[in-house]
Amino acid sequence: MEPEAKAIQNLKAGDISGLKLLVEKYQQSAVRAAAAITRDQQEAEDVVSKCFLVVYERINQFDPARPFRPWFLKIVVNAALKRVGADSRLTSLDNLAAREAAIASINLEMGEHQSPSTAIEHEEALAVLRDAISQLTPKQRAVLTLRYDLGLSEKEVSERLTIPRGTVKSRTASAVNRLRKLMADWLSG
Amino acid sequence: MKTKNDLDEKLRAAVRHYIDALVTEPIDLWPSVKAQLAPDPTRARGRLRIRWIVSIATLALLALLAFFLWPPAKPATAEEVIHWVLTESTRGVGAGEVLYERFLITTPPGALSRASGATAQLWQSDAPHAIRFEVVNQDDKLVMFTLRNADHLWQSLHFRNPIATEVQAILEVPNADPEVAYPRTPLGLPRPVEEASPFRKGILYALPDLDQLILHSSSECAGIACLTQGLEEIDSGIELRLQDSTRQQNYYQVDILDAASGVMLGSMTIDAGNFTLLKFVDQQGVVVRLLERQILDQSMVSADLFSSPPSGVRVLFIPEGWEQAKGQSEDLTDRIWVISTEPEPGLLSTDEVTVTLGYRLVSRPLSSLRVYLQPYFPFCSEHEDGCASGVVAAAEAMVAVGEESIELHMPIDPWDAKGQVVLMAEFTSLGTMKTFEEYLWEFPSNDSR
């Protein structure tokens, strides 16, 4: 039996050591998905922690024949969306440190603007990215996160968010079009 | 020139790195998750409380299921049903206020059984002060109902086989108002009595008629032979046969036969004292009837009269006023006293003596009160030679339960008018006789007349 299956089996039997394995395995991706929606790591961690408690309480509802990750991410995304909806402050929050880190990260990762002479230009471009993403709705960010960060297909996103595939498609398209418009100059650069 | 795919990939990378930028600190959620998994005392108490509630609710549900589904040890007996009906009928009314002129409950074997789903209902009808009882058997057939309002008592008895192939009903509706509207009209609303000889009607329909018939005939008869003869004249096709074995009892049993075929139609049990119908049993021996207006109880007639016939049909006897009187009085002693006489005791020269008696009747709903003048022999018993008694004058009246006075007139037979007589009185049905030795009259001697 695989470690994950064994962990789930133990958790179903009331052994919380099984939960520990699941936390360690899925916390990273879960927090990333939640953070994309809440745009705050602390908030995302709080959401995900509670989601693991939900897993603990509802593990008997989980069908071990099916993969755990989609089931859990669905809980996380819904919880994050609920959190954003419940706390409007989060919609306007954007962490300065995160923004700066994002800029640095993008600079390093994309390797297209490593010239020191253009650093200021790049910073401006990434500020545009940050502003653009922050202008998306939480639901659009959730779709983008699942599609672009977690790499889920439209069908999987549809299942995770319990929305029709058409809605996933249109929500993704509207989010992308919005980003393209907002970031037109940077994308064409 | 950048293609669409290039742009999407650039967006994808931008999103990923945007999220990377958001999640900058190392993630270790296990300590916080584990801490939150530790039992919270408040939460634990809440869960415990919920568990208690669930447990109690489960037990209550199981108890209800057991009550309704668990087969009882034995079916309800007629006595249990009667007790239930009486209890319900007096609930909230007050003891002694609810009286039943007559009350009959029948339970054919197996028809009334908790195990088979018999139910009993009590409900208030739209009629003022009306109370209705229903006992329904497992087939949702009405076994019986009684309904009582301020003035009337309605009753129904519903029998199943072997009395009849269909459920039948009998209604005894003393002074009933047929216009009274009742919210439900099951089997038991009044039915007209069939136009036929009561001896040949269905036994259920015959009972009220036969009762009235015997009551009427007995008022014109002094003996059982007269009564049976009178009854035979009503239906020339029947023959009434008195069972000699009952002559020495205080009741008569009279068999009813079809005169032509000799087939037994039923039998009647008649009070030897006042010729009223006590019991009527059909040829199958299934129905019993008792008239409660008679002053009867088990101490006065043989036990078998009141025992259940093999069919299990039972009769309850609740005399009107009796229960009330018993409930109101601690002293159940019946009393008779003299209020006045006309003429006063002494030399008697009139041909009538009028006595005003006071009486208190509490042990029976009704009784015959008799006064008479009897020769006075203070020093010997009736059965000794020379002490033979003979009633010189007498009068009798029916009195009801309670404390009242009554005036009785005793005409005197001049041929018996001799010697000294004493006033005596008794409740005849109770067998209690009282001699008023201070009320003595002496007839003038023949020489002085």
B401-420 pLDDT, tens per residue?
A: 778 899 999 988 777 667 78
Residues 15-44, chain B: which have Cβ within 8 Å of A? 15-25, 27-30, 32-34, 36-37
B343-398 pLDDT, tens per residue?
A: 999 888 888 899 999 988 776 656 778 898 888 766 555 444 445 557 788 888 87
The answer to whether the CB atoms of A32 and B28 lie below 8 A apart is no
The answer to whether the CB atoms of A44 and B22 lie below 8 A apart is yes
The answer to whether the CB atoms of A36 and B18 lie below 8 A apart is yes
The answer to whether the CB atoms of A49 and B33 lie below 8 A apart is yes
What are the residues whose beta carbons fall under 8 Å from the beta carbon of B188, sequence distance 6 or more? B142, B144, B145, B154, B156, B158, B169, B171
The answer to whether the CB atoms of B27 and A52 lie below 8 A apart is no
What are the residues whose beta carbons fall under 8 Å from the beta carbon of A180, sequence distance 6 or more? A187, B7, B11
User: CA dist B12 to A122, A177, B441, Å?
Assistant: 18, 13, 137
Write down all domains in chain A, each with its CATH number in brackets: 3-86 (1.10.1740.10), 96-188 (1.10.10.10)
**Chain B CB contacts of A16 below 8 Å:** 34, 37
Nearest to B32 among A40, A49, A110 (CB): A49
B80-126 pLDDT, tens per residue?
A: 444 444 444 444 433 322 223 233 333 333 333 322 233 333 333 33
Q: Looking at the predicted structure, is the pLDDT value of residue B16 above 50?
A: yes
**Chain A CB contacts of B8 below 8 Å:** 176
Burial class (CB in 10 A: 0-12, 13-18, 19+), A154: middle
**Chain A CB contacts of B40 below 8 Å:** none
pLDDT of residue B295: 29
The answer to whether the CB atoms of B13 and A27 lie below 8 A apart is no
Nearest to B33 among A53, A148, A179 (CB): A53
pLDDT band of residue B276 (cuts 50, 70, 90) is confident
What is the distance in angstroms between the Cα of B121 and the nearest Cα belonging to chain A? 47
Nearest to A27 among B10, B22, B29 (CB): B29
Q: Considering chain B, what is the average pLDDT of its residues?
A: 60
The answer to whether the CB atoms of A49 and B36 lie below 8 A apart is yes
pLDDT of residue B286: 40
Question: Which amino acid belongs to residue B27?
Answer: I
What is the distance in angstroms between the Cα of A176 and the nearest Cα belonging to chain B? 8
| DSSP H stretches of helix in B160-251 | 203-218, 224-234
**Chain A CB contacts of B30 below 8 Å:** 20, 23-24, 27
What is the distance in angstroms between the Cα of A36 and the nearest Cα belonging to chain B? 6
Q: Which residues of A20-32 are buried (b: 16+ CB within 10 A; e: fewer)?
A: bbbbebbbebbbb
Which DSSP state fits B415? G
Rounded Cα–Cα distance for residues B154 and B135 (Å)? 14
What is the distance in angstroms between the Cα of B10 and the nearest Cα belonging to chain A? 7
B317-350 pLDDT, tens per residue?
A: 333 444 444 455 556 678 899 999 999 998 888 8
Nearest to B18 among A97, A102, A188 (CB): A102
**Chain A CB contacts of B20 below 8 Å:** 32, 101-102, 105, 109
Q: Looking at the predicted structure, is the pLDDT value of residue B164 above 80?
A: no
Report residue B208 as tokens: 């009220």
Nearest to B19 among A95, A97, A145 (CB): A145
pLDDT of residue A154: 81
- What are the backbone dihedrals phi and psi of residue A115, each rounded to the nearest 5 degrees, phi first? -70, 125
A123-161 pLDDT, tens per residue?
A: 666 667 777 777 788 788 888 888 877 777 888 888 777
Question: For chain B, what percent of residues have pLDDT higher than 90?
Answer: 4
User: CA dist B337 to B155, B255, B350, B362, Å?
Assistant: 40, 42, 23, 15
